[in-house]
Chains A and B, each alone.
Chain A
Amino acid sequence: MAKISFHAITKQYPGTSRPAVDAVSFDVAEGSTCMLVGTSGSGKTTLLRMVNRLIEPTSGEIVIDGKNVLQENPIALRRRIGYVIQQVGLFPHLTIAENVRVTAEIAGGWTKQRLDKRVDELLELVGLPPAEYRKRFPRQLSGGQQQRVGLARALATDPAIMLMDEPFGALDAITRERMQNELLRIQRDVQKTILFVSHDIQEAFKLGEQIAVLDQGKLIQLGTPVDLLAQPANDFVRKLVGGDSILRQLEYLPVIDALEQDTVASARGGDVPTFLSDATLLQAMLKLLETNAPALAVQDKDTQQQLGFITLASINREITHAHGHKTERTETAI
């Protein structure tokens, strides 16, 4: 129950020549994760902060579940939207448990028992054993642990929408990756509609079902990671997503993009190993190298029907000609 629609949303700060966000329109599907990426100054954070009205738009509409947020009471609006930021912003004078429950407390209507139970549930969910962490203070936690609490706090009232502004940007690489995995795990359970600002394209590919690329306040492209790789709207997107990077293409492009029908292998019939259609080129290439087979037979992952063959040559062709053409493709798992 939480689809977010942007309709020509614009923010122009007084005394600036171009809008920070310029007539951006797109939809975020209910229960999906949409990543906002772009260079600094692209307007991605401004766009995010207009959703819970920490910034008021100059013109345009943001509609959540059919209701224009600009016509809502901002305080009521914010209470049903989770907000997670890079600096975390835990209250230093409150314990971890108090920090988590504060969102529920200010909204009111919770009994003490329900609050206590909810806090324990959430700490458990974000991987902090409640008995150990409940009574601690923020400064006694590492950066990664603090952000787990930040996540728990945002989830406390079970909001349908989460706004996340580079939540893992300040963490070291290993902790960041662990937190990304945690978020994916949690998202599988809670199914929030997430709007997530990131400057890390790797992160965007990993977490996002949709990626919105912004540049100088304008929405340049909206699409799945594969869309962005295979069909970048312009050079900016191609550079941003690393469309030139062979490894990234191998990692994300599906095997069905590199199918061929008539090969030497096809003549040999069933001798070659079979492979499912939702695999990536990289997986296929590794399999080819590993088995030393001349080709792989690709089967549809649902119907088991044989779709074609894949060879090192066909992979090579797909990568060198990746841009420009688009074959019909099935849903891509990342």
Chain B
Amino acid sequence: MNALLDFIADPHNNFMGQSITYLRICAISIMLAIVIGVVLAVAVSRSPVLSFIAVNLSGLLRAIPVIAFLVAVVPFLGIGAPPATVALVILGIPPILLNTYTGIRGIDPATIDAAKGMGMTYWQILTRIQAPLILPIVAAGVRTSAVQIVATATLAAITGAGGYGAYIFDGFNTFNKTAILAGAIPVAVLALIIEVAMGWLERALTPIGIRREAVQSQMVVKQGEVAKA
């Protein structure tokens, strides 16, 4: 334990710098994945053909092992943090896209009809009806994505992205247990924090009236979870 603290405190190891690198890659990837995933889902939701393509492509992408994907993009994107970020964004999109799409499609048309009937504007329908119903489902997708991105970002160290993964791989190469743990423990803790915090956020976003079903729909979406770093 002392060795671990010494490792972290040693300026030579630049723990702070690696943490920032790691967190930045994760944060940027998650943000971009959310924006792209949600926009794509909204864009394709009106066209049956486009949504069929998007849903199945997402499903296919999730069936491909993360590690395979990560190395497969290396020849195209090269080595370092920016290409790794691109790979992470692409991996992060499917759960968000699928959940947003499911959420939009899952709204009872009668609900929208009723809202129109009582004279709500398009904006009011979006903010008062659709958003509260969809948000928890989107949040479930973001949760899956975020946990996956955090996990995969570690693996991205093999393509030279740096971060905690670098400690782990360096540790493997030099048989340095301290280095391994210095990388592995923060990653594990970070993943658990995101999982628990996002789970809490998801519940908080769920309108009380539909709380039970929302939990079930999250279960359904999670069943499709395949990708795992």
Please tell me whether chains A and B touch each other in their complex, using a CB distance cut-off of 8 A. no
